[in-house]
Amino acid sequence: MSKKVILGITAFNHDASACLILNDKIVAFSEEERFNHVKHTGNFPTGAINYCLQKGKISSQDITDVTFYFNPLRCFKSYLKHSNPLFWLKDPSVFKRKRFYYELVWLLSFTNKIRSIKRILKKDHLKIHPVDHHLAHAWYGYYASNFNNCVVISNDSVGEDICSLALRFSRSKKRLLVEKVFEQKDPHSIGYLYGAITELLGYKRGSDDGKIMALAGFGKERYLKYFLNSVEFLDNGKFKLKDNLVLERSFQPKGQRLTDEFIKKFGPFRKSNESFKQQHYDLVYALQRIVEKIICRQVASIKDQNVVLTGGVGQNSVANGKISNLFPKKKIFIPPIPNDAGCSLGSALYFYYQVNNCLPNFTESAFLGENFSKNEVKTILKNNQIKYREINNPTEFVAKVLAQGKVIAVFRREMECGPRALGHRSILANPEKKQMKDHLNNCIKYRENFRPYGGIILDKDVKRVLDYKNEYIGGKYMSFVYKVKPKWRPKMRALTHVDNTCRIQILKKNEDPFIESIIQSFAKITGIPIILNTSFNLRGYPICRTPREALSTFYASGLDYLLLDENILVSK
């Protein structure tokens, strides 16, 4: 097998990350935001790389190959196609276009940054392998699904010149066949459109798009017809955005992403301190519905049973839930790291396959983050003179205090990878009373009041609690939203959004015995087979990585308890 030591990198844009493939195995992965505490950071992932090397027990000098999640050569070819300086013979105005200069400067700067990786890692003869952005998304999505055969659909803002890509993976005993199903090119991008409207409403694209998705629940159909008339639906799941929506990439300020016609109709740009108007809600409602329609048409064009949705748009859990129900005989899978952070893994896996003609044995990529031993936790507590006690039957204790309306954070095992907390770095609460959502938003998370929360449920209870129509029960990465059945809404007020939906993590038996036991004990006490789960962090900060960060977050918030390493309890 391969003697190569492969370091995968995402950097210099957003969601920076690093992964390590060593001895034919994925041994480590982390987002850089967990180290520099800047959410969605694009900085070079120094902290994540050091963690990967430490876990692999190697140094940077042992690395043989670096893969990068973006291919500037392909982007440069697209630039020449759209901004070729020879065009002045036909149209001298090309030199007046801001895109001509801004994109060229950006490309040169980005290429220079990629070259700087050798200098940063202090290895001049290191081989750097750029991988097309959507190939990185697709190869990670395929690997994470553990399907033998499937179609992977990757949608995001833009990667080089591609905005959407669908690949069919077919595995036999001797080979893996990969064929292109369809692709969409810039500027016909639902991710680009979503990001542009996110900015119109006063938020930051690439990090606050989930807030926009939540706002859609307050909207009405007023602008839906406008959006339907602004998209041309083509065969095989493809589409075109008409000229009244977005402009081609310009590398300009946010106002340049949307057309003057669109801004005149829906603007001006909302300031961050301004209140939302019904027009804002209605706009996002129409945006969300058109995105759902486009993705549904993409999936409908695929005859395969197994479908993977990835890329930044793969984080749209509302769309994912509707697609799951609309195609009840398909297995719809969302990887735990669908955003660009997962591309460090995808680029490394793609290169590994080119070298070895196979993929590494399957590794659960949702929990490749750092783990801290009981002794490390106790040492930190003692050095900081923090009182604690070790408890017996911790799952029963957690269920009991949740039933009493207390809020507890758990910090255990390997850190989650990706945007969702999955029970390792989580805040748990009772979902029954509506006041719990306000308490979490105002006193613990310190975030906007309209933001909803997710929950964890066991697979055996899914269909009696939620409007879940798919034949295959799954969704352990909290990537799907479903309607809550009327009978259960009074029992899930803190979880149920204004449109009667709930984002959910579904656990199968023995996937996480600790959380499973908490849910079972909580159900015995309250009759409610679901608990509220949100990420262990404060607004503006990433999920806690270390015990020190967990303690700092605990004392800076209104949390009642902190459970470390499953049985070490800290209280106020």
pLDDT digits (tens, 9 = 90+) for 288-312: 999 999 999 999 999 999 999 999 9
Question: Which tops the pLDDT comparison, 267 or 322?
Answer: 322
Looking at the structure, do residues 561 and 459 belong to the same domain, yes or no?
yes
Tokens 């998370």 -> residue: 445
CATH number at residue 40: 3.30.420.40
Tell me, what's the pLDDT at 187? 85
> What's the rounded Cα separation, in Å, for the pair 473 and 508?
9
Residue 370 CB neighbour total at 10 angstroms: 15
> What's the rounded Cα separation, in Å, for the pair 320 and 326?
10
CATH number at residue 418: 3.90.870.20
Return the structure tokens found at 395.
């799952």
Residues above pLDDT 70, as percent of the chain: 94
Query: Is residue 46 included in any domain, yes or no?
Result: yes
Model confidence pLDDT, tens digit, residues 482-504 = 999 999 999 999 999 999 999 99
Return the structure tokens found at 390.
């070790």
Count of domains observed in the chain: 3
Looking at the structure, do residues 385 and 527 belong to the same domain, yes or no?
yes
Residue 231 forms beta bridges with which residues?
Answer: 241
Query: Is residue 199 included in any domain, yes or no?
Result: yes
Query: Is residue 174 included in any domain, yes or no?
Result: no
Looking at the structure, do residues 354 and 386 belong to the same domain, yes or no?
no
CA-based nearest residue to 470, from 269, 297, 333, 346: 333
Full 3-state SS string of 505-546: EEECCCCCHHHHHHHHHHHHHHCCCEEEEEECCCCCCCCCCC
Mean pLDDT of 108-133: 94
Tell me, what's the pLDDT at 331? 98
Tell me, what's the pLDDT at 274? 93
Tell me, what's the pLDDT at 381? 98
Model confidence pLDDT, tens digit, residues 307-343 = 999 999 999 999 999 999 999 999 999 999 999 999 9
- Which DSSP category does 477 fall into? T
Task: Answer whether residue 40 shows pLDDT above 90.
Answer: yes
Looking at the structure, do residues 207 and 114 belong to the same domain, yes or no?
no
Task: Answer whether residue 176 shows pLDDT above 80.
Answer: yes
Looking at the structure, do residues 255 and 394 belong to the same domain, yes or no?
no
Looking at the structure, do residues 355 and 279 belong to the same domain, yes or no?
no
Tokens 């605990």 -> residue: 554
Looking at the structure, do residues 269 and 298 belong to the same domain, yes or no?
yes
Tell me, what's the pLDDT at 98? 55
Query: Is residue 139 included in any domain, yes or no?
Result: no
Query: Is residue 87 included in any domain, yes or no?
Result: no
The range of the structural domain enclosing residue 502 comes to 374-571
Looking at the structure, do residues 311 and 381 belong to the same domain, yes or no?
no
Looking at the structure, do residues 262 and 387 belong to the same domain, yes or no?
no
Looking at the structure, do residues 423 and 512 belong to the same domain, yes or no?
yes
CA-based nearest residue to 542, from 8, 45, 28: 45
Looking at the structure, do residues 394 and 528 belong to the same domain, yes or no?
yes
Return the structure tokens found at 360.
């590494």
> pLDDT confidence of 248, banded at 50, 70, 90?
low
Residue 358, classed as helix, strand or coil, is coil
Looking at the structure, do residues 324 and 459 belong to the same domain, yes or no?
no
